[in-house]
Every structure is written in C-alpha cells, then in structure tokens.
C-alpha cells in the first residue's frame, strides 16, 4: 500500500507509451499503472473521461482535474470525430460511481446526454448530469440497504474530496430530481408504457403495480368458465390481508402543491385527490369513536389519538396478498390519525377495482371489530378474547388451507428501515419512493415465488368412540355458523375453589388403606400396590416438612409413619404365605444393616413379584398366580395413573387461563402461583409413578411373555407430559402433534376430559383438512404462476411486433425472454414437487370427506 504512493523504482522517466515527454500522469481507475505524458493520458481517456487521474509533483502524487489536462467530452459524434461547431460548457458537473466531477462538455441538446447514458438535471441548457450506472447503483443499493439519497450523495462527495478543503459543486438538489425522474420513467419503461400507443398519458390506475403471479387474476391466469364453477369456487378465492404501519409516518413538511407525486395512482398508492375528497366527504359522517367488543386493542382504542403535533401522516395502511405477501394495486394510503375505518375501507375498496375475482378471504388484525365475518391473522389471535379465537381463526375455517394472514407484518419488516428517510420528505416524494420500494419487493417475490410454494406433511390422528358425533357437529357448524361451535367449550370453566376441593378429595382417598389378613392372592397384590403408593406419598409429605415445620405438622406425619408401618408388618405376614423366598431377602437385609438401626417405613422393601423377579427370589410353583395378578393390577394401575395425569394437566390448563384473567396484582398472583405449583407437583409425581409402574409391568410381562399391552402404553418421556393446548413457539398450530397420553383408553371418563378431547379432535380435523386444502391450493397456484408467466411472455411478444423503434423492439424481446425463462425455471423446479403432492382434487374436499381415511404424505 505504501509502495503505490510513489513512482515504481524501475519506472522510466519518460512516457511509457510514446517516450517523448515526461511520464507524470497515472490513472487510478485503470488496471494499467504506468506513468504517461499529458497527451497520451488524454488520448487514452477520450472514451473513459470519468476516470480518476493523478499527477506526479516531484515529491508525491496529487489528484488532477480533467479540465487542467484539456480533456473535452464531445457528444453527438463518434469517437475520433471532431465537431465543427462545438458548444463547450466549461464547468459541466457529472455524478458518477467514483465521485462528482467537473468536466468540459461539448453538447447542444439533452438527448445527446441520454444517448451517452447521462441523465440531465434539466432539459434546457443542462449543466449537471448523472450517469446511468450511478442511478442504477443507488436504486439497487437503496432496495437492499434502505440508504437515503442524502447519505449516498455525500458519500460520493467524499469520494471526490475527503479532506473537505476542495469540495465538489453542490448538486444535491439536482440529484434528488434526477432520482425521482429515473425511478418514475424506469417504471414506465418496465411496464411497457413506451410500447403502447397512448404512451405515458394513457397509463391507467394501478397499471404500474406488479401483480402476484400466484393469485387469481380473471383476465390473466384463470381458466375459461371459472366464473361458472359453483361447486368449487373456493379454489379461485383471493386471499387478502389488511394492516397499518405507524413507523412510516411523515412530518408536516412541504405540501401537495410544492411537491406533487409523479405517480398519480399508477402503482400502489391510491390517487391522492380522490382519497382526500373521500375523507372530506365522509370524515364527519362516520362515528369518531367506537367501543371495542373484544380486548383493548390499540388499533381501535387509539384510532383518534395517534400521531401528535407536526405529523402530516401518522403511518400508512395497506392491503396485501394474504398468501404470498405482495402489495396489491391501489391498496396503500396515508393515515391522518390512527387506524380509522374510513381510511382502511377506502384502501380495501380501491384495491377491489383492479381486476379482482368475486370470492375473497380477507384477514385483518381487528377483523372482529371491522367486520364480523372476516378472519384474524394467526399471530394476532392470542391478543383477542376466546370467542374471537373460535369464530375468526384461520385454524378452524374451512377452505383456507394453511393461510396465516400475517403477510403484512413481513412486508412492513422490509420497509420499516425507510422510516428515517421518508419522514422528512414532501408528500409526493415520499409516495413515489415507497411505490418504488413496494415495486421492488413485489418483483423479488414474483421472481422467487417458485421457491415460496412448498408442501408439508399432513396430520395423522387416532380414533375415539365419540369421533362420529364430533364430525357431525363440525360439519353442521361449517354449513351454519349459528349452530354450536365445536371449537368452543360448553362447560363452565373450573374455578379455583373447585380445584382445591378436587385435590382435597384425592388426598382423602389416598390415605384410606385397609389390610385384611384372610386375603386371596389378588387381594394380597392389591394391598401391596396400595402400600407402595402410600410409601411414595409419605416420602413427599416428609419432604414438604422443611426445617421450620411446626410440632403439629411433624406429629401428623409421624402418625402416618406409624400407621403405614403397622400395615406393612401385617402385609409381610401374608407375604410369607404366598412368597416365602422373600423372607430370605429380608433376613439378608437385616444382616447387612448395622446393629440397632431401624429402617424407616418409607424404606422398607415390599418385594412385590416384579421386584422379586429382578432378584431371582421366585417360587415357580406358587409364584405364577401372584405374578399374573400383579401384571393385571399393574396394567390397571398404569391406565389409572395416566388418567390422573391427564386430569392434572387439564387442571393446569384451566389454572393458566384463570390466572391470566383474574389473578391481577401481587396478592392474587402469589396465590395463583402457589396453587399452580401444587398442581405441577402432582403432575411430576404422576409422571414419576407411571414410569415406576411401567418398569414393573415390563418385568412381569417379560417373565410371562405377554407384551400386547405395549400397543396402548409407551415409555413416558419428558416431552410427552404436556397438555392439549401446550404452546410450542417453534411449531405452528397446524404442525403441533398430540402427545400419546391423550390417545389411549379415552372412552368414558369425566365430562370435562371428554369436552377437552372433543375440542382437540375438532381442531386436529380442521388442521388435517387445511393441509389437504393447502395441497389443492398449491396445485392451483402453481398452475396460475405458470399461466401468468406465459401471459406476460405473449404480451411482450406482441409488443415487440407492434413497435417500429429498434430499441423498443429489442427491449420487448428481452422482456419476452425473461418471462419465458421464469416459466421454464418454474416448470423445472416444480416437476418433482407435483409428484410429491397428493392427487387431491377440489371435489374430494367436500363436506362428506372422511378425515380419518386421509393418507399420511411425506415431503
């Protein structure tokens, strides 16, 4: 790096090209680092007049102005030809990627600048221009980094002079105009306005907006007779999502008169004059305030209180494609206060004027207030009350596939970085800038829509005796929403006092154990299992005493110890009859115990058949009966333990809802947390006890070679211990699977458990149906995308035939090739995907479909 600051040590003193004069000049932009004379450096850069030149001043290299070299940029003639009557502008400023340069320019008309890829700041006597490549660089860079024009221009100024002592002429205002003109005319060019007979003047509203190729467009990608398809019109639904963004605000600077928009409703923003007229006409008619029937949503509560002083626009509202996240034509506009219906209504209705099919699915994060038959996006749904969850959720609505309705949030994330630069703009500049960025966002999605369409696995569900009845309820509700909603609970929620009562009743039943001396083998095993459970509960009670327990608490525990000890001693006497070899095990334990040491009641081994089998202390003649009895009782015990575990998980779910609703403040929050801790302790105890029972059952079943019970029972892992509605942030609701503990021995049971299972089954059916619908929608969307690409291929082909200008014809053929390549790429990438998609048709997804007969596909 230091070596480049001086002349090469072996470089000749004379010019490296002609050798006639001193070589004092070097170009920093060329790969050729040789030192040249003034004449040679000028001749070499006639076609590269914007390169940076340095001159050797005997001690160091210093930037050299091209005017000082006598370099004159001549336009309107071929390179090497000389103009006989040149009009030379002595100080013409050119903005390029290497900086801002002042050059001598020989030109007469602005079209000569355009032919040389220079964009003039004015059309009459231009004194400033920007190269096409700097305009293209800024446009792409702003799309990727959201850099402002101010930052970009002053970066170029520093490239020209980073010391600040020799700044280039200030052309920031001219560059602002050039960028706006470039963006506007580029859009006109890309959408074929130069190929249409009416030209720019005949541009129609929304014509410069790029449509989503996967959405239905009646004149572009829908088949003949689609409007008459009354049996399955849902595959031609247009999915829309409405939302507002309060980051893209604009301060009260400039005005419509001083800064009008170049896009008069040609792209994504609505036409401003008509929009203002709508606000003036209906602003005083529509109610200012409306009380929400749902939660206290900011979108409703702050409808008239957002913004503040100095804000001309508090944000923007928009309607986007609900499945593919692309802005719709004429769907964006400014908000003057909050998310008022008068604004959002206009954006939605304005969008509907642009080639829209009659069947719509509209998602809005306050849909429950905006219109009672619309859907709420999935991510926003938790902020709503339970009836909104059940009535306005995509999860439970038919014929919507796996749509989530959250597309606007993704689009806002990509444009929020523009807030700092656009808030200081005038109204027209801001709309044009956002239109340009929305267009690039749509373009990127259209080019990569092939990658966005994907396929996921369908659900696989278990059966229950009540499924037929539940299915009837689901189908009835889908056809008539006034019927009972199968996704909503019918029973009254469990109260805190009910939970306390149920736990107290369980604890009362747990302490009632009686030992009978004249017992049968099965009674002997049953009493042993009861004693085993009593030891576990006693251990838990001792752990809860703590270091500061009272005398009364310790006395009660000691009474339990004495009671269980007497019962164990009586039971051991019976065990000597049925399992005599266990006496040897106890004698061995006594020998290994230090003299005078007493064993605690919770530590006395019972040596049930499962434990004796592990130690080899079995009597083949008499032991088979008790082993079979333990197997049968353990099997029942395992199912009972799972039932208890499920009930406690349901209690936890109810407590979570109760705590969120009613436990406000530290006092009630502490009580709720204490009760929740108590239930969680029960859940952990149930899980530990089931694992113990499962291990014992596995031992006796292995001895008897009977393993059919494993079809209904499985080892209990930590991730299996979860409720019906446990939330996993890494999975969407449609991908959530049900733990196996809810799929075994579910017949009968408590009414609350049956209702919870009914709701969960209905949700699973809805999710499974949505996956099947998604397959049908994906197949239709792939067809629409390819049809759209083919439509634009033919459109540009026709445009190329109908123009006489060679450049216009070449550009049309270039666009035709681009759309044709997109179509070919889609065909190539989707060949394997179409084979993976099931051969589901819209007709197969009617209301009589047997959801449980659906196959399980893998992607």
User: What are 681-715's pLDDT values in tens digits?
Assistant: 888 888 888 898 888 888 888 888 888 787 778 88
The torsion region of residue 480 among left (phi > 0), alpha (psi -120 to 50) and beta comes to beta
CA–CA separation, 154 and 149 (whole Å): 8
Rounded to whole angstroms, the Cα distance separating 543 from 539 reads: 6
367 has a pLDDT exceeding 70: no
pLDDT, tens digit (0-9, with 9 covering 90-100), for 490-522 = 444 444 344 445 545 554 554 454 554 567 777
Which residues have a Cβ under 8 Å from the Cβ of 595 and sit 6 or more positions away? Answer: none
CA distance 70 to 49: 11
- In this predicted structure, what is the pLDDT of residue 396? 52
List, for residues 554-599, the tens digit of each pLDDT value. Answer: 888 888 888 888 888 888 888 888 888 888 888 888 888 888 777 8
Can you read off the two tokens belonging to residue 451? 């990658």
CA distance 794 to 788: 10
pLDDT, tens digit, 9 for 90 and up, residues 646-689:
888 877 877 776 666 555 556 656 767 777 888 888 888 888 88
- Range in 513-517, 620-624, 769-773 with the lowest mean pLDDT: 513-517
Question: Taking residues 71-81, what's their average pLDDT?
Answer: 80
Sign of CA dihedral 144, 145, 146, 148: negative
The pTM (predicted TM-score) of the whole model is: 0.64
Residue 208 has a pLDDT of 95
Distance CA 526, CA 509 (A): 15
Measured in whole angstroms, the distance separating CA 199 from the mean position of its chain's CA atoms is 41
For residues 590 and 598, the answer to whether their CB atoms sit within 8 Å is no
Residue ranges in 311-405 assigned as alpha helix (H):
341-351, 367-370, 386-391
- In 3D space, the residue among 663, 819, 646 whose CA is nearest the CA of residue 749 turns out to be 646
pLDDT at 12 over 60: yes
| Whether pLDDT at 814 is above 90 | yes
The residues facing 244 across adjacent strands are 317
């Amino acid at each position: 790096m230091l070596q480049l600051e001086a002349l090469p040590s072996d470089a000749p003193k004379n010019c490296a090209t002609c050798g006639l004069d001193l070589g004092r000049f070097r170009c920093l932009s060329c790969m050729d680092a040789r030192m040249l004379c003034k004449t040679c450096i000028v001749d070499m850069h006639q076609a590269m007049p914007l390169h940076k030149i340095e001159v050797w001043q005997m001690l160091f290299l210093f930037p050299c102005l091209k005017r000082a070299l006598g370099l004159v940029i001549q336009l309107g003639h071929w390179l090497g030809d000389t103009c006989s009557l040149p009009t030379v502008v002595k100080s013409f400023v050119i903005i390029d990627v290497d900086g801002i340069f002042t050059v001598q320019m020989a030109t007469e008309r602005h079209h000569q600048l355009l032919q040389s890829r220079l964009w003039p700041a004015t059309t009459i006597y231009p004194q400033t221009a920007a190269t096409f490549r700097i305009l293209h660089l800024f446009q792409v860079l702003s799309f990727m980094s959201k850099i402002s024009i101010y930052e970009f221009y002053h970066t170029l100024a520093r490239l020209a002079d980073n010391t600040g002592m020799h700044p280039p002429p200030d052309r920031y205002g001219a560059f602002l105009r050039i960028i706006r003109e470039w963006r506007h005319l580029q859009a006109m060019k890309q959408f074929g306005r130069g190929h249409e007979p009416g030209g720019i003047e005949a541009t129609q509203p929304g014509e410069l907006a790029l449509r989503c190729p996967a959405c239905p467009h009646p004149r572009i990608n829908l088949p003949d007779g689609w409007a008459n398809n009354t049996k399955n019109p849902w595959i031609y639904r247009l999915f829309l999502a409405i939302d507002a963004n309060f980051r893209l605000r604009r301060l009260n600077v400039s005005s419509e008169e001083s800064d009008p928009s170049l896009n008069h409703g040609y792209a994504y923003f609505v036409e401003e004059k008509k929009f203002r007229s709508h606000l003036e006409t209906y602003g005083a008619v529509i109610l200012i305030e409306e009380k929400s029937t749902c939660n206290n949503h900011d979108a409703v509560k702050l409808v008239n209180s957002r913004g503040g002083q100095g804000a001309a626009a508090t944000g923007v509202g928009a309607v986007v494609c609900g499945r593919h996240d692309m802005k719709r034509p004429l769907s964006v506009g400014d908000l003057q206060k909050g998310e008022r219906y008068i604004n959002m209504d206009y954006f939605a209705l304005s969008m509907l004027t642009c080639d829209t099919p009659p069947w719509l699915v509209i998602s809005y994060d306050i849909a429950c207030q905006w219109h009672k038959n619309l859907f709420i996006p999935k991510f926003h749904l938790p902020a709503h009350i339970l009836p909104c969850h059940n009535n306005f959720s995509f999860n439970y609505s038919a014929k919507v596939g796996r749509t989530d309705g959250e597309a606007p949030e993704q689009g806002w994330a990509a444009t929020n970085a523009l807030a700092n630069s656009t808030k200081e703009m005038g109204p027209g500049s801001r709309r044009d800038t956002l239109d340009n960025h929305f267009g690039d966002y749509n373009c990127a999605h259209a080019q990569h829509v092939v990658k966005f369409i994907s396929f996921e696995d369908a659900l696989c569900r278990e059966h229950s005796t009540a499924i037929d009845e539940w299915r009837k309820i689901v189908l009835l509700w889908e056809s008539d929403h006034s019927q009972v909603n199968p996704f909503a609970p019918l029973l009254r929620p469990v109260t805190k006092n009910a939970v306390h009562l149920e736990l107290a009743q369980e604890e009362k039943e747990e302490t009632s154990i009686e030992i009978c001396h004249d017992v049968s083998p099965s009674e002997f095993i049953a009493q042993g299992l009861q004693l085993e459970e009593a030891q576990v509960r006693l251990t838990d009670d001792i752990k809860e005493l703590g270091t500061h327990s009272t005398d009364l608490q310790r006395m009660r525990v000691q009474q339990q110890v004495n009671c269980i000890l007497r019962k164990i001693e009586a039971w051991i006497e019976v065990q000597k009859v049925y399992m005599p070899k266990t006496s040897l095990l106890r004698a061995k334990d006594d020998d290994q115990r230090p003299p005078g040491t007493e064993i605690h009641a919770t530590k006395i081994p019972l040596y049930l058949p499962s434990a004796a089998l592990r130690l080899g202390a079995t009597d083949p003649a008499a032991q088979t009966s008790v082993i079979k009895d333990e197997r049968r009782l353990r099997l029942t015990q395992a199912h009972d333990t799972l039932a208890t575990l499920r009930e406690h998980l349901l209690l936890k779910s109810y407590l979570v809802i109760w705590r969120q609703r009613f436990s406000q403040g530290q006092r009630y929050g502490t009580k709720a947390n204490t009760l929740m801790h108590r239930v969680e302790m029960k859940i952990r105890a149930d899980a530990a006890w089931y694992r113990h029972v499962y291990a014992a059952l596995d031992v006796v079943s292995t001895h008897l070679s009977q393993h059919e019970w494993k079809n209904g029972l499985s080892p209990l892992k930590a991730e299996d211990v979860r409720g019906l509605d446990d939330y996993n942030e890494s999975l969407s609701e449609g991908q959530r699977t049900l733990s196996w503990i809810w799929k075994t021995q579910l017949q009968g049971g408590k009414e609350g458990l049956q209702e919870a299972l009914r709701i969960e089954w209905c949700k699973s059916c809805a999710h499974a149906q949505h996956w099947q619908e998604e397959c049908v929608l994906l197949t239709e969307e792939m067809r629409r995308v390819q049809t759209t690409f083919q439509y634009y291929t033919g459109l540009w082909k026709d445009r190329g035939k109908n123009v006489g200008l060679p450049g216009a014809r070449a550009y049309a053929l270039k666009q035709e090739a681009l759309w044709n390549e997109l179509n070919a790429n889609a065909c190539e990438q989707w060949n394997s995907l179409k084979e993976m998609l099931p051969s589901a048709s819209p007709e197969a997804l009617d209301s009589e479909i047997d959801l449980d007969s659906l196959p399980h596909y893998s992607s």
